[in-house]
């Protein structure tokens, strides 16, 4: 990451490199949680703004850049959910969260995955995302979320069990 020596602020080149490195993963992280491309794109933009504002506070001796960036992303996402909690329009809820009286005859695997993910709470979806989409180890997930690896393992086991049970009912 390129930083100027005097002010320790992010340079334009450093910001470009940061954006290129993290944008796809941040977008996937946000999309996995919101299931909405437009909202995900906005949240990534908000996250990048928050990163630039807080960059002076980053201390490599306290943790790695990736964990710091995703902590900011997580806080940005939680702020979004808190702010929109009471004003969520029913039409904006993804179809995967709505129960159907009659299941459609043909479903693609993406629909099935969305339905299984809808069975999980936010924390469980985040753990599944980090483990299976980001392909992080339990230790890396724990560092990112402030948990120990055994707690991550237990919560992942419970989440996948919940998904399996849901898949058996589909």
- Which region among 17-26, 42-51, 111-120 has the lowest average model confidence (pLDDT)? 111-120
pLDDT at 26: 92
Query: How far, in Å, CA of 158 to CA of 155, rounded?
Result: 5
Res. 7: pLDDT tops 50: no
Instruction: Mean pLDDT check: name the lowest of 60-69, 78-87, 115-124, 149-158.
Output: 78-87
Q: What is the pLDDT of residues 106-151, one digit of tens each?
A: 345 567 777 777 888 888 888 888 888 888 888 888 888 888 888 8
Q: Which CATH number fits domain 1-93: 1.10.800.10, 3.30.360.10, 3.10.105.10, 1.10.1740.10?
A: 1.10.1740.10
pLDDT of residue 138: 87
Higher-pLDDT residue of 125, 6 = 125
Under 8 Å between Cβ of 130 and 144: yes
Answer yes or no: is pLDDT of 49 > 70.
yes
Burial (0-12, 13-18, 19+ Cβ within 10 Å), 135: exposed
What pLDDT score does 144 carry? 85
Q: Which residue has the higher pLDDT, 85 or 61?
A: 61
Q: What is the mean pLDDT of the chain?
A: 78
User: Which CATH fold topology does 107-170 show?
Assistant: Arc Repressor Mutant, subunit A (1.10.10)
CA–CA dist 131, 37 (Å, integer): 21
The whole model's pTM is what? 0.54
Could you tell me which residues come within 8 angstroms of residue 36 by beta carbon, excluding any fewer than 6 positions away?
A: 92, 94
Domain ranges, ordered by start, for the chain: 1-93, 107-170
């Amino acid at each position: 990451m390129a930083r100027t020596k005097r002010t320790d602020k992010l340079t334009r080149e450093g910001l470009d490199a940061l954006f290129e490195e993290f944008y796809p993963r941040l977008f996937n992280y946000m999309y996995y949680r919101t299931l909405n491309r437009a909202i995900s794109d906005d949240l990534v933009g908000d996250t990048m703004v928050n990163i630039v504002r807080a960059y002076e506070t980053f201390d490599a001796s306290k943790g790695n850049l990736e964990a710091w960036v995703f902590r900011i992303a997580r806080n940005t996402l939680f702020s979004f959910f808190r702010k929109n909690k009471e004003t969520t329009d029913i039409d904006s809820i993804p179809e995967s969260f709505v129960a159907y009286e009659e299941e459609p005859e043909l479903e693609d695997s993406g629909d099935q995955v969305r339905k299984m993910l809808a069975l999980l709470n936010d924390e469980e979806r985040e753990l599944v995302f980090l483990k299976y989409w980001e392909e992080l180890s339990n230790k890396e997930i724990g560092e990112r979320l402030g948990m120990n690896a055994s707690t991550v393992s237990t919560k992942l086991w419970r989440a996948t069990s919940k998904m399996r049970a849901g898949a058996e009912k589909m």
